Structure 1
Amino acid sequence: MSITSMPCYVFHNDSAATMRLANKFGAYFGKLPRHRRIVVVCIGTDRCTGDSLGPLTGTMLGKYRSSEFDIFGTLENPVHAMNLADTMDKLQMLFDDPFVIGVDACLGQASSIGAVMVGDGPLRPGAGVNKQLPPVGDIHVSGIVNIGGLLGYQALQSTRLHLVMSMSGLISRSLLIGIRMSANRAIRPAVP
Structure 2
Amino acid sequence: MKSRASGNHASALREGAAEDGLVGRVHYRDPQAAWQLADYLLRLLEPHPGAWEQPAVVCIGTDRSTGDALGPLVGSQLARLAPQLRVYGTLDEPVHATNLAETLVRLARASPTFVLAIDACLGRAENVGSLTVRSGPLRPGTGVRKSLPAVGHAHIVGVVNVGGFMEYLVLQNTRLGIVWQMAQVIAAGVVHAAKQASELLHMRSRAFS
The separation in 2 between residues aligned to 1:17 and 1:155, in whole angstroms, is 25
Structure 2: runs of 5+ lacking an equivalent: 1-20
TM-fit CA distance, 1:74:
0.1
Is residue 149 of structure 2 the alignment partner of residue 134 of structure 1? yes
How far does residue 122 in structure 1 lie from its aligned partner after superposition?
Answer: 1.0
Q: Output the CA distance in 2 between the equivalents of 1:106 and 1:160.
A: 14
Contact 2:50 2:113 (C-alpha < 8 Å) held by counterparts: no
- Residues 25 and 179 of structure 1 are in contact (CA less than 8 Å); yes or no, is this contact kept in structure 2? no
Distance change (3 Å), C-alpha of 1:149 and 1:23: same
SS at match of 1:63: helix
Please give the TM-score of this superposition, normalised by the length of structure 1.
0.89
Equivalent residue, structure 1, for 2:133: 118
| Percent identical | 40
Deviations 1:119-146 (A, max 9, x none): 1111111100000000111001000001
RMSD between superposed Cα atoms in Å: 1.6
Q: 1:181 to 1:130 in 2, by over 3 A?
A: same
Count of aligned pairs: 181
Aligned to 1:167: 182
TM-score (norm. length: structure 2): 0.82
Deviation, structure 1 residue 61:
1.0
- Which of 2, 8, 21 is the equivalent residue of 2:24? 8
Write the deviation string for residues 47-67 of structure 1: whole angstroms up to 9, x where unpaired. Answer: 000000000000011111332
Of 64, 67, 72, 2:88 maps to: 72
Matched, 1:39 2:56: yes
Cα pair 1:29 1:179 within 8 Å, conserved: no
Deviation digits for residues 29-55 of structure 1 (CA, Å, limit 9, x no counterpart)? 453326852100000000000000000
Q: What is the DSSP-based 3-state SS (H/G/I as helix, E as strand, rest coil) of the residue aligned with 2:198?
A: coil
Give 5+ residue unaligned stretches, structure 1. Answer: 188-192
- Displacement of 1:15: 1.1
User: How far does the alpha carbon of each residue in 1:3-23 deviate from its partner, in whole angstroms, 9 at most, with x for none?
Assistant: xx6521100001111111111
Distance 1:38 1:57 in 2: 16
In structure 1, distance between residues paired with 2:130 and 2:186: 11
**Is the 1:113–1:145 contact (alpha carbons within 8 Å) kept by the matching residues of 2?**
yes
Distance across 1 between alignment mates of 2:52 and 2:42: 16
Paired AA for residue 159 in structure 1: T
Pick closer, same or farther for the CA change 1:27–1:45 going to 2, 3 Å.
same
* Structure 1 stretches of at least 4 aligned residues deviating more than 2 Å after TM superposition: 26-32
User: Aligned AA for 2:50?
Assistant: P
Tell me the distance in 1 between the aligned counterparts of 2:51 and 2:123: 36
